[in-house]
Structure 1
Amino acid sequence: MATMPPHRHAPSQPTGRPVGTRRVVRRLLTLVAAVAVGAGLLAAPAHAAPSVDEIDAQIDKQWEKLEPTIEQFNKVRSQLKANQKKSADLQKKMVPLELESALAMNKVGDIASRYYMQGPSQEMGALLVSTTPGTLAEQLVILDRLAQDQHRQIAGVLAVRDKYNAQKQKLDQLIATEKRQQADLDAKRKQINAEINRLTKMLPVTSIRPAGCPKIDGVVSSAARTAIKTACAQVGDPYVWGATGPNSFDCSGLTQYAYKAAGISLTHFTGAQWNEGRHVSRSEARPGDLVFFGSDLHHVGLYLGNGVMVHAPRTGKPVQVSSISTQPVAGFVRVS
């Protein structure tokens, strides 16, 4: 009987899709995923550029740091100017005193020189040979009194001169200190102002002129009315730190300029202006009063009534009329 060959099983086939099909599916899935990711990236919103209002808010935030520094600079500068005038006045007073003391000292030196080099003068010799003892004694007493009187005069002159020298020395030291403070403040101002300028350059250029002042109602002094009229005439003029007009202003420079037209002198510094008038409550405030802002009194405007003022806001914002509620009100001062 013939032997049957062993039964060979056919090679096993994998269940499911063929190998080639699986590869195609994987490629399709990869492609779809890539397309989906790309679509998602395209759909993701790009970072929007800041709006004008957002940039303006950034500038206002920076300005909160800058304006107190500017007003401190104005304070030091006004003190420096006053002390330099005092120093110059003292120097003028010292000139005749120094001359007087020099003449007196020269006179004493001349007498001493003649006495020691030439011997007693004719007047002294006449007294020494006098046959009248009473006369000689009286003359010696007179000479002694004259010498004492001359000594007192010289000592008085020197004392006054030294007094003024000491005062001037103190002033010179103060001026040197204030110059250093001014340099420090100027460096701070430049540092912050650089950021302000950077942000300001991002703002669109506009030629829109700010709204003018409203009609002033109520009882207003003639000086206040003049100040209001003057300040309102500056609406649209640019803000420039340290400027007091006539074509650009900072906040205290504008109020100083306005009241100068009314014959009232104010210091170019908010802290000083705070003390240059009578404080009134908010309910008593009337047009022409100065309105101050911040616990450090870093800003001032000219009140127009009904919750609005005319003021020089900051770099990038010209003199304008705006609400007093944009920042904390410190108080009101009436200077007229």
Structure 2
Amino acid sequence: MPPLPERLDFPLIETPQQLQQLLAQPRGSLLRYGRPVGRLAFRALPGKKPVRLQQLEGPTILRAPNGTVRWMSGRLDQVAGKRAQDVSRQVMDFLQRHRRLFGLENPREELRLQDVSRDALGYTHLRFEQHYRGYPVWAAELRVHVDAGGQIYAVNGTYEPTPSGPSAPTPWLTAAEAYEQAATDLRRKGRWQPPGPALRDALGLEEAPPRLVWYRHREHGWHLAYEVDIRPNWMERYTYLIDAQTGQILHTFANYCTLRPTESSAIPDAPEIAYTPLPSLQANSSMRRRRMCSATPAHCGFITILPPATL
């Protein structure tokens, strides 16, 4: 082997031609000072798939800004049985086992089964409503989907992590007082023109009764509030969230749609109801059809009303 000074005496390379000349010299490499001890063999790495095609098998998870699971899909778990009670029990076991993943302290207490449906493909869909300290969490639910083979393949929903801090205060307002708070606000805005009983019946203008819910305000945190469904006129519908202790309006939004924009101060004219006997059913005097006309004569139609005994 050459002495160390000779091995460290590297020539100065300034041009590509000098590099070509240096490479053309039979200097060899360090491998010529070694001694072969065996034969090199190449063998593919063990695996069912090529390395570049191997992928981790796991669920796909998309999280909401609050950290909860907005969407999760994959081969999540297997349930046995076809009866709704068996499927729902095993789905709840799955949610309880993975409660940290879902951001819930105790899904058995916080999630209440509201609906179980099965579609034409034999897939089962379960809908849970989130509760806390005896009251539902506003607009919070979780859905679990099971295929025909019993595989939980997807979970989605919009819900809250288990609330921390709020107690269950005694509401100082009644449901009627909360409704009046919403009505007062709509009167102030010029939207209050409630339809009469006949028009409510003809158009099915029903209102859900106020209910107590937990509502998380973006700035002020959790509040026990009344969710108020209110129809101030024949066309519009609003949802109000009223603090159950102070009567403060925490949130409100319109819950209807129109085909054309309307002025903020104008309420569309209510339709008129005209009762006309059906020509082909004169013998049944209890059957009527109602002609609905707005202020514009071109917008008229007929609604047939059947008596309860014939429904």
Q: Which has the higher helix share?
A: 1
Instruction: Name the TM-score class by shorter chain.
Output: under 0.3
- Which has a greater percent of strand? 2
* Larger of the two Rg values belongs to structure: 1
Structure 1-normalised TM-score? Answer: 0.18
Which is bigger in relative contact order (C-alpha 8 A, separation at least 6)? 1
